[in-house]
Structure 1
Amino acid sequence: MPKVLISDKMDPKAAEIFRQRGVEVDEITGKTPDELAAMIGDYDGLAIRSSTKVTKAILDAATNLKVVGRAGIGVDNVDIPAASAKGVVVMNTPFGNSITTAEHAIALMFALARQLPEADASTQAGKWEKNRFMGVELTSKTLGLIGAGNIGSIVADRAQGLKMKVVAFDPFLTPERAVEMGVEKVTLDELLARADFITLHTPLTDQTRNILSADNLAKTKAGVRIINCARGGLIDEAALKAGLDSGHIGGAALDVFVEEPAKASPLFGTPNFVSTPHLGASTSEAQVNVAIQVAEQMADFLVSGGVTNALNMPSLSAEEAPKLKPYMALAEKLGSLVGQLSHGALSGISVEVEGAAAALNQKPITGAVLAGLMRVHSDTVNMVNAPFLAKERGLDVREVRHDREGDYHTLLRVTVRTQAGDRSVAGTLFGNQAPRLVELFGIKVEADLAGHMLYVVNEDAPGFIGRLGSLLGESGVNIGTFHLGRRDAGGEAVLLLSVDDAVTSDLLTKVKALPGVKTAMALAF
C-alpha cells in the first residue's frame, strides 16, 4: 500500500480521499526541515501547502518518494530541478483556487479605485472626510493583464462584465485564444503605455522576475494602479514605492511580497498602498477544493499511474495509463536494447510511432525510451528524470508520428545517432500486451527481450549454430529462447539468445573466438 505524508495543515477531506483510494496517510505538520528529512524516507508521496520547503536536502533523504503534491498553484517552495533529477513527480492544483484568486484581484482593484481601506480607517476614526476620497470608475478603463492563463482569463471575464477594455501580454497567448477571451493581445510596452490598471497573473521565473522593473514602471501611464496577487518578485518593490511617492503611480495593491511573511516593508504606510497577507487562495471553498484535488491526483498516480497537473512530466490520465502501460514497457526495452548495443557518444535519438501507437499520447512513450536508454549508465533513472537528464546532456530528442499503415498493427521504432552512424530497432505488441522485437539494425528478427541475453552478429554459414550451442552446453549454460535473423543468405546474421544466468566475461571471450563471429555482447533486461 502506498504511503503519503501530509506535512502542512490541510482540509480533512484530503486524508479521507487518500484512505478511500487505498493509500495509507499520516498527517504530521509543523516539523522542522531536519525532522522532515529524518522521516521522509518512509513515504511514497508528500502532500504540502506553502509552509513545507521541499529542498534538495529533503529530496536526497526521500529514498522512496515518487510524488510531491502542492495543494495550490505556486510551487516556489519546491526545488523542481532537484525533484526532476531525483525522478520525483511534482504536481500542483492550478484550478482549485483560480476563482478565489481572480476575485481577490478584482476586490483589490475596487479597493484602489475607491480608496476603500483609507476611507474605512478615516471614517472609523470619526473624521468623515467625504471630500478627501475622490475615486475613479472602472467602467471604460483599460485593464492590462500580464499573464493570460487560467486566473488571468477569469479576471478578464470579470473585468469585461464591469465594462472595462482588456489588453493582455502573454508570450503563450495565441491570437485565436485572445479572440476567444475577448481581449487584445499586445506587447509589454504597449500594455504599460495604455493600461489604467495593471494586474499580474504569471509565475515567477527568470524571465518574469521584476517584470515591472524600475524601467518598466517608468513606461506606465501616469496615475496607473497596479495589483499583484500572483507572486512576490514580479515587481521591483523599491521602484514601486518611488513611483507611489512621486505620484506617477496612482495606487498599488499587493497580496504577495518578495519576502514572506512580510512583517516589515518600506511600502507599509505609503499613501495609496493596499496590502493583504497572501489571501489570494484564502476562502473556505478554495481550501477544500485544492485539498480534494491534490489527494485525488496523488492517489491516481500512486495507485494507477495517472499523471495530472505535473510540472515535470507529461500528463497521463488514469484512463490512459492502462492502455499505455504495455507500450511503455516495449519502449523501455527498446531504449535499453539500443543503449546497450550502441557504442560511442550519442548525439540524438528519434522515437517513431505508427499504427495504433500513433493514436496515443507519445510523451510517456518517449520518456520510457529515454529511461531505458539512460539506465545503462544510471540505476536511478526513470521516466520522470530521463527527459531532464537527456536535456542536461544535450541529447537531441525527436518525436515522429506516422499515419501510414505498416506491416504491423502497431509499431515503435527507436533510432539513435552515434559517431558510427544511425542505429535503429523496432518493436510491436503481440496481442496488444506482449512486447516483441521485430527489427534490429535493419535485420528482421522476432524476439522477446527479457532477463539475461546473448547478442551475436556472425557470418551466415553452415555449422555456426551447432558450434555455438555446443559451446554453451559445455559451459553449463541453459538456453531459454533462441532468435535468429539475417540480411541475406550467406551474409550477416544476428542471434539473440536468452539464458538462465548472466553471461560471464570468460564465456563471452569464448563466443567471440568462434569462427565467423563479428560481435558478441551480454545484455540484461
Structure 2
Amino acid sequence: MPKVLVSDKLSKTAVQIFKDNGVEVDYLPDLGKDKEKLLEVIGQYDGLAIRSATKVTEKVIAAATNLKVIGRAGIGVDNVDIPAATKKGVIVMNTPFGNSITTAEHAISLMMALARQLPEADASTRAGKWEKNRFMGVEVTNKVLGIIGCGNIGSIVADRALGLRMKVIAFDPFLSADRAVTLGVEKVELDELLTRADFITLHVPLTEQTKNVLSAEAIAKTKKGVRIINCARGGLVDEAALYDALKSGHVAGAALDVFLEEPATESPLFTLENVICTPHLGASTTEAQENVALQVAEQISAYLMTGEITNALNFPSISAEEAPRLTPWVKLAEALGSFAGQLTETSITGIRIEFEGAVAALNTKPMVAAALTGVMKPLLADVNMVSAPQIAKERGMQVETVTREQQGAYESYIRLTVITERQERAVAGTIFANGKPRVIQVKGINMEAELTGSMIYVTNEDKPGHIGRLGTTLGDLGINIANFNLGRADVGGDAIALLSIDGNLTDDHLKTIAALPGVKQAKALRF
C-alpha cells in the first residue's frame, strides 16, 4: 500500500479520499514548517501533498528515497524545486483551475470597492465622521474594462463584467477572434486597451515578457482617471511608476492583491488613500481551498494506484514502453514550439504540426502537447504538457496535426507552423544519431543548427559584409560566439543567422544588433 504525507493543512475530506482509494496517509499539517523533521521522515513516503508552507528543496528531495509524486493544492509551485524533482524522477503535480472562480470574484470585488471608495468610506464612518460628499464614486455600468490576459480567470472576469453591463476589451496574444466573439469581448492590442479602458485588470503569469507590462511608459498611455486592479502576480505593475501616477492624479485608484515582495509589510503605496491593498487573498475562499485539496488528493491517489498522470508539470503522459523512443522527439517538439513562440509577436490563431517518416508512427499526442507548451510558455509560465491543449482550446487556437510517410531527405522530422492574423512561420527539426535535437529549416530556409541554452536569431538582407559586421559587433559587446549557423532563401533575398553564444543578451545588446545595416529582426532565444 503506497503511503502519502500531508504536511500542510488540507481538508478532512481530502484525507478521506486517500483512504478511500487504498492509500495510507499521515496527516501532519504542521510538519511542513519543521525543515529538520521533514528531512528526517520524508524517506518513508511515496507521495507528498502540500500547500505553500512546505518548502520542497533539493535537500528534501535528495532525502526522499521513496518519493514518487509531489502534489501542490493550488497553482503556484514556487516552493518546489522542480528541476531537482525531475532529475530524481519525481512527478510534480498542481491543481491549476481550482482557484479560478475565487480569484475572478476577488478582482470584481476590488473593482467595485475601488469604484465606490468603500474601504476609505468605511474607515471614515467608523471614525465618527459622516463625509457623504467626500466619497463621490463612479458607476461601472457602461464603463470600459480592459482585461490583460483572457485565459481561464480572465474569461470569468469578462463574463461577470458583462453581467454588470460593462464594455469589455481584452489583450491576449493567444486569444483568437472567434474565441473573443464567444466570450463577448472585443480583442485589441495593448496600446489600444491602455488608451480606452476606464478600469484595467491583469490576469497573466509573471514572465520575462509580462514583467512590468504596466510600466511607467504604459501607464502614461492610459486614460486619465483609470483605475487598476491586480490579483495576478506582483511584478506585472511597476509599483514605483504606479505610485507616481496615483500621486499625480493620472491614475484615479488602484486595488492590489499581489506585490513584488511578499509578504508586503511596508510600501509607499500603503500611504495613499486611493489604494486598496489585500494580502494575496485571490484564492482564499472556503470553496476554493476545498476544491484544490480534493483535486490534489484524487490526482496523487490515481498516480500511485494506477499510474495515471494528471496536471503534471514535469512529465508527459508516456508509457514505460514508449519512453526510450518517444522522449527525444517530445523534447524536440517542445524546443521547436519554444523557437516559434519566442519569435511570434502577434496573436496566434492556429498551430499546425507535421510529423513525417518514422516519427509519424509514434504516439504523437505527447509531442503535440509538448509543442503547444513550448509555443505558449514564453507568455504563460505556468503552462505544462497537460494544461497546454486545454489552454489552446480556451483561447480558440486551431490545432492541426498531419502525419505522413517519408518524402524528403530526412528519415523523420517534425515541422511546426504558427499561424497568426498576419502570417505563417514554420520551423522544422529532427533528431540526429547522438539524440540531440537539430533545427533543419526556418521559414522555408534550409539550415542546420543545434539548439543550445542561449542563442541569437537574426533575419537580414543577403548582402556582402553582414556576417563580418555582426561578428565584430558581438565582439565589441563582449559576447562570445559558440556556433554560427547560416541559411538563405535566394541570392540577395532573406537570410537567417542563428548563433549559439556564451551568456545572455541584454535589451541594449539587441538594439545594437537590430540597428546594423540590413537587419530586419533580432531576437534573443532561450532553451
AA partner of residue 19 (structure 2): R
SS in 1 for 2:432: strand
Matches of 1:171 and 1:219, distance apart in 2: 20
Confirm whether residue 417 of structure 1 aligns to residue 419 of structure 2: no
- Paired residues in the alignment total 361
User: Structure 1 residues 217, 403: closer, same or farther in 2, change over 3 A?
Assistant: same
AA partner of residue 3 (structure 2): K
Q: How does 1:204-283 map to 2 (within 5 A)?
A: 204-283=206-285
Cα deviation, residue 236, structure 1: 1.9
Structure 1 residue corresponding to 2:359, chosen from 329, 352, 359: 352
User: Structure 1 residues 413, 269: closer, same or farther in 2, change over 3 A?
Assistant: closer
User: Structure 1 residues 366, 271: closer, same or farther in 2, change over 3 A?
Assistant: closer
User: Structure 1 residues 127, 101: closer, same or farther in 2, change over 3 A?
Assistant: same
User: Is contact 2:229–2:254 with CA below 8 Å preserved after alignment?
Assistant: yes
Task: Return 10-19 or 112-121, whichever deviates more.
Answer: 10-19
Structure 1 residue corresponding to 2:161, chosen from 143, 149, 159: 159
User: Gaps spanning 5+ residues in structure 2: where?
Assistant: 329-355, 372-384, 386-399, 406-411, 415-429, 438-527
AA partner of residue 224 (structure 2): A
Q: Which residue of 2 aligns with 1:192?
A: 194
User: Is contact 1:350–1:400 with CA below 8 Å preserved after alignment?
Assistant: no
Q: Which residue of 2 aligns with 1:332?
A: 324
Task: Return 101-110 or 4-13, whichever deviates more.
Answer: 4-13
SS in 2 for 1:250: strand
Matches of 1:157 and 1:109, distance apart in 2: 14
SS in 2 for 1:260: coil
SS in 2 for 1:209: coil
Cα deviation, residue 351, structure 1: 6.0
User: Is contact 1:210–1:233 with CA below 8 Å preserved after alignment?
Assistant: yes
Q: Which residue of 1 aligns with 2:47?
A: 45
For residues 46-72 of structure 1, the C-alpha deviation after alignment (integer angstroms, 9 at most, x for no partner) is 211122223333333333322221111
Cα deviation, residue 309, structure 1: 1.9
User: Structure 1 residues 49, 330: closer, same or farther in 2, change over 3 A?
Assistant: closer
User: Structure 1 residues 5, 139: closer, same or farther in 2, change over 3 A?
Assistant: same
Cα deviation, residue 250, structure 1: 0.8
Confirm whether residue 11 of structure 1 aligns to residue 18 of structure 2: no
User: Structure 1 residues 138, 158: closer, same or farther in 2, change over 3 A?
Assistant: same
For residues 167-218 of structure 1, the C-alpha deviation after alignment (integer angstroms, 9 at most, x for no partner) is 1122222222222211122222222222111111112222222222222222
Q: How does 1:50-61 map to 2 (within 5 A)?
A: 50-61=52-63
Matches of 2:35 and 2:212, distance apart in 1: 29
Matches of 1:187 and 1:277, distance apart in 2: 31
AA partner of residue 352 (structure 1): V
Matches of 1:72 and 1:112, distance apart in 2: 27
Find the structure with the greater CA-based Rg: 1
For residues 442-479 of structure 1, the C-alpha deviation after alignment (integer angstroms, 9 at most, x for no partner) is xxxxxxxxxxxxxxxxxxxxxxxxxxxxxxxxxxxxxx
SS in 1 for 2:359: strand
AA partner of residue 268 (structure 2): P
Q: TM-score, normalised by structure 2?
A: 0.62
SS in 2 for 1:288: helix
Matches of 1:350 and 1:37, distance apart in 2: 49
Matches of 1:420 and 1:28, distance apart in 2: 44
Q: Which residue of 1 aligns with 2:484?
A: none
User: Is contact 2:413–2:431 with CA below 8 Å preserved after alignment?
Assistant: no
Q: Which residue of 2 aligns with 1:390?
A: none
Matches of 2:184 and 2:370, distance apart in 1: 37
User: Structure 1 residues 37, 240: closer, same or farther in 2, change over 3 A?
Assistant: farther
Matches of 2:184 and 2:140, distance apart in 1: 17
User: Is contact 2:73–2:292 with CA below 8 Å preserved after alignment?
Assistant: yes
User: Structure 1 residues 55, 105: closer, same or farther in 2, change over 3 A?
Assistant: same
For residues 353-377 of structure 1, the C-alpha deviation after alignment (integer angstroms, 9 at most, x for no partner) is 44xx66x73449999xxxxxxxxxx
Cα deviation, residue 91, structure 1: 1.8
Give RMSD over aligned pairs.
3.3
User: Structure 1 residues 45, 130: closer, same or farther in 2, change over 3 A?
Assistant: same
Q: Which residue of 2 aligns with 1:449?
A: none
Cα deviation, residue 117, structure 1: 0.5
User: Is contact 1:6–1:46 with CA below 8 Å preserved after alignment?
Assistant: yes
Q: Which residue of 2 aligns with 1:169?
A: 171
Matches of 1:418 and 1:283, distance apart in 2: 53
Q: How does 1:445-464 map to 2 (within 5 A)?
A: none
Structure 2 residue corresponding to 1:116, chosen from 106, 118, 124: 118
User: Is contact 1:201–1:230 with CA below 8 Å preserved after alignment?
Assistant: yes
For residues 403-451 of structure 1, the C-alpha deviation after alignment (integer angstroms, 9 at most, x for no partner) is 78xxxxxxx99995238999xxxxxxxxxxxxxxxxxxxxxxxxxxxxx
SS in 2 for 1:329: coil
SS in 2 for 1:240: helix
User: Is contact 2:234–2:258 with CA below 8 Å preserved after alignment?
Assistant: yes
Q: Which residue of 1 aligns with 2:288?
A: 286
User: Structure 1 residues 275, 331: closer, same or farther in 2, change over 3 A?
Assistant: closer
SS in 2 for 1:78: coil
User: Gaps spanning 5+ residues in structure 1: where?
Assistant: 317-323, 337-348, 368-383, 385-398, 405-411, 423-525
User: Structure 1 residues 174, 335: closer, same or farther in 2, change over 3 A?
Assistant: closer
User: Structure 1 residues 163, 59: closer, same or farther in 2, change over 3 A?
Assistant: same
Task: Return 275-284 or 256-265, whichever deviates more.
Answer: 256-265
User: Structure 1 residues 216, 23: closer, same or farther in 2, change over 3 A?
Assistant: same
For residues 361-397 of structure 1, the C-alpha deviation after alignment (integer angstroms, 9 at most, x for no partner) is 3449999xxxxxxxxxxxxxxxx9xxxxxxxxxxxxx
AA partner of residue 25 (structure 2): V
User: Structure 1 residues 206, 42: closer, same or farther in 2, change over 3 A?
Assistant: farther
Structure 1 residue corresponding to 2:314, chosen from 303, 312, 319: 312
Q: How does 1:446-485 map to 2 (within 5 A)?
A: none
Q: TM-score, normalised by structure 1?
A: 0.63
AA partner of residue 161 (structure 2): A
Cα deviation, residue 149, structure 1: 1.1
SS in 1 for 2:146: strand
Structure 1 residue corresponding to 2:138, chosen from 136, 139, 161: 136
User: Is contact 1:254–1:275 with CA below 8 Å preserved after alignment?
Assistant: yes
Q: Which residue of 2 aligns with 1:80?
A: 82
Matches of 1:94 and 1:366, distance apart in 2: 17
SS in 2 for 1:253: strand
Matches of 1:419 and 1:162, distance apart in 2: 59
Cα deviation, residue 108, structure 1: 0.3
User: Is contact 2:357–2:404 with CA below 8 Å preserved after alignment?
Assistant: no
For residues 481-524 of structure 1, the C-alpha deviation after alignment (integer angstroms, 9 at most, x for no partner) is xxxxxxxxxxxxxxxxxxxxxxxxxxxxxxxxxxxxxxxxxxxx
